[in-house]
């Protein structure tokens, strides 16, 4: 199963992003496909915080636009959302200790632990920081492979 990180969600939403077309195409393929795909709930929260932040975008997305975008993604019948279950603590503890995570990186550790807990096969992201987490297979779908 493929999980999608916040940055791809932001790029797929913000038409002023230089990566909008590529990111929107990736998300559309997942949403219209038959294979299960997922968004960790923390990425939904971060998406809302980033796209509506007036210091990040001029102008920011309105809360109505951001919620509408999430509602659109939720229409995909193959979309699942990752959340913590009873054994979550063992995953986050392991990820934090293995990656020597402190401070703001705890958010990424949260996402990584959810992916591990739910046996995600790939995390689609443009954030190289995820390489710090053992067991997470990261993939940047916006990079065109060399021929």
Q: Which pTM was predicted? A: 0.93
Give residue for tokens 């934090």: 96
Kindly state whether residue 147 falls inside one of the protein's structural domains.
no
pLDDT (0 to 100) of residue 16: 96
Residue 57 lies in a domain: yes
- What pLDDT, on the 0 to 100 scale, is given for residue 99? 87
Residue 134 forms part of a structural domain: yes
Residue 7: CB partners within 8 Å, gap ≥ 6?
125, 126, 127
State yes or no: pLDDT of 113 exceeds 70. yes
Summarize pLDDT for 43-90 with one digit per residue, the tens: 999 999 999 999 999 999 999 999 999 999 999 999 999 999 999 999
**Percentage of the chain exceeding pLDDT 90:** 88
Query: For 19, left (φ over 0), alpha (ψ -120 to 50), or beta?
Result: alpha
The torsion angle over the Cα atoms of residues 108, 12, 138 and 3, rounded to 10 degrees, is 80
Counting the structural domains of the chain, the total is 1
pLDDT at residue 125 tops 80: yes
Q: Is residue 62 a part of any domain in this protein?
A: yes
* Structural domain range at position 106: 2-139
CATH number of the domain encompassing residue 24: 3.40.50.1010
**Residue at 145 is within a domain:** no
146 belongs to a structural domain: no
In the predicted model, what is the mean pLDDT of residues 102-119?
95
Per-residue pLDDT, averaged over 7-28, amounts to: 97
In a domain, 81, yes or no: yes
pLDDT at 147: 52
pLDDT value at 38 more than 60? yes
Task: Read off the pLDDT band of 132 (50, 70, 90).
Answer: confident
What would the 3-class secondary structure string for the chain be? CEEECHHHHHHHHCCCCCCHHHHHHHHHHHHHCCCCEEEEHHHHHHHHHHHCCCCCCCCCCCHHHHHHHHHHHHCCCCEEEECCCCCHHHHHHHHHHHHCCCCCHHHHHHHHHHHHHCCCCEEECCCHHHHHCCCCCEECCCCCCCC
Is 10 contained in some domain? yes
């Amino acid at each position: 199963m493929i999980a999608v990180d916040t940055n791809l969600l932001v790029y797929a939403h913000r038409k002023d992003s230089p990566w909008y077309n590529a990111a929107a195409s990736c998300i559309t393929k997942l949403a219209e496909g038959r294979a299960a795909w997922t968004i960790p709930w923390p990425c939904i929260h971060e998406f809302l915080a980033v796209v509506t932040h007036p210091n990040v975008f001029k102008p920011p997305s309105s809360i109505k636009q951001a919620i509408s975008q999430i509602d659109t993604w939720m229409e995909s019948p193959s979309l699942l959302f990752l959340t913590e279950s009873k054994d979550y603590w063992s995953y986050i503890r392991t990820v934090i200790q293995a990656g020597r995570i402190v401070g703001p990186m705890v958010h990424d550790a949260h996402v990584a632990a959810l992916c591990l807990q739910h046996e995600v096969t790939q995390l689609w992201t443009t954030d190289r920081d995820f390489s710090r987490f053992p067991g997470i297979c990261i993939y940047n779908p916006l990079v065109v492979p060399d021929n």
